[in-house]
Amino acid sequence: MSGTEPGASASDHAVETTTLEHTIAGELLDQALAERRALVQLCLYALDRARSAGVVERLEEGLAAIGVTAVRPDGERFDPSRHEAGGTAPTEDLSLDGVVAETEVVGFTDRGRTLRAPIVTVYTAR
Same domain, yes or no: 83 and 96: yes
The pLDDT score that the predictor gives to residue 4 is 53
The pLDDT score that the predictor gives to residue 1 is 46
The pLDDT score that the predictor gives to residue 9 is 76
The pLDDT score that the predictor gives to residue 16 is 79
102: nearest Cα among 126, 117, 85? 85
Residue 94 lies in a domain: yes
Residue 2 lies in a domain: no
Same domain, yes or no: 33 and 81: no
The pLDDT score that the predictor gives to residue 20 is 86
CATH number assigned to the domain comprising residue 100: 2.30.22.10
Same domain, yes or no: 55 and 110: no
Same domain, yes or no: 57 and 74: no
Same domain, yes or no: 21 and 31: yes
Same domain, yes or no: 40 and 87: no
The residue range of the domain holding 73 is: 67-126
The pLDDT score that the predictor gives to residue 6 is 64
Residue 1 lies in a domain: no
pTM over 0.95: no
- Per residue of the chain (126 residues), give pLDDT as tens: 444 566 667 777 777 788 888 899 999 999 999 999 999 999 999 999 999 999 999 999 999 999 999 999 999 999 999 999 999 999 999 999 999 999 999 999 999 999 999 999 999 999
Long-range contacts of 109-112 (CB under 8 A, 24+ apart): 109/68, 109/69, 109/71, 110/40, 110/67, 110/68, 111/67, 111/68
Domain count, the chain: 2
Same domain, yes or no: 83 and 100: yes
Half-sphere exposure of 7 (CA within 13 A, CB side): 1
Same domain, yes or no: 50 and 71: no
The pLDDT score that the predictor gives to residue 15 is 73
